[in-house]
Structure 1
């Protein structure tokens, strides 16, 4: 489990969140060019007592930077902002705008071969787009990041990740805070003297090849981390699996507001 860092224009909040997470035991920090927090994450890593080599740092290339040259240039900018020599995991954030599968994957392959990134990730892809990218990417795919939680279970993407042996990384794992209002999770949480937040995270972590990156501050950082110790019974996992309600918190409308383009995994 990692810590998400979408705290635009909130330097101290982001730094404090990452420092708290590293003190708690987290070793995976997720940021992005688009978040505007790479510099804050780097600052927290330098302030922490945890050695850099023990921290797994992931960032993402924004859609407007996905041409071959801009992937290379903007990744250098990310390295400088983070203050690191190597990025542990670099994602395509969204396959939109300047994205061209051949050109973009060639740039990621070059970065991998030059040792500037250790692993290649994709984010917000459909299965056909995943297959297309994997077909031209020389480096192995390490992770695919998507919205995933009990109301958006992503079973087909999970099966694809398991079949091809890469990580499916769940963002918005707490349904944008609405996890506290899901009756099934509330009832199961009562059985374990836990919180619905912890149940949602424990359910995700019970899945093979799934990681979660909740954003949190203060006491919620420790609350989320404790979910790693919550082992749900098979019948409770099955009850969550059976939830029929579906909801996206990142929608076509929000995609249009941010990118002037709809997300590629939605029919429009």
Structure 2
């Protein structure tokens, strides 16, 4: 008997939150239409899957999403099929936050995915012509990117002369939203960075590709001065060697304590001079 009462109570709550058109429910029974001018963009649209759309209605979805994203942030809720909704939001950032964090709707947790195409056109600008396609391929593959087309060389209009830009169609792995805005290549003895662009690009950490921080705050960013994570050599506060004044990993005095004991610290050498 108790279980039956709880089930009836849940059905009643769903009915009220779904906005059934019974008398006294506060909803206008005549057909409404969107009066405001809004921008409905594909790359601001996400999909919530494995949600029973016959039981959990649009009003519940709107209410529970806007509890997280803010009032009037949901622009459209479209029933894709019996087990998924397509939700258009007011900004790319709002859509991205939902994908990152997921969403609780009617006390159940759901995963959210971006709706836009899984094919991304990636371009590298003004790259020297002698950089091989294999070098480009290995750079992108190391980040988990799958190249699904040949690597093309853009031509100067009206000619068959390459202008330095390479472009290709790629698939990003799940959870990756963007590549860094620059990509390094070895040019002789130097390393140079070249502009990398693609559709729906956003700022991400060049170390771990997270959009939540930049490289200098990355917890996976290794300092080449001390070996610790989360800062650069320039920002390193490790104690420097008293003999050569270098950071621990750059110390040139050797690891032998006898060697260090036989020579005075650098500041004493300077005083003697």
More strand by proportion, 1 or 2?
2
Q: Which has the larger radius of gyration?
A: 2
More relative contact order in 1 or in 2 (CA 8 Å, sep 6+)? Answer: 1
Greater per-residue helix proportion: 1
- TM-score with structure 1 length normalisation? 0.22
TM superposition score normalised by structure 2: 0.22
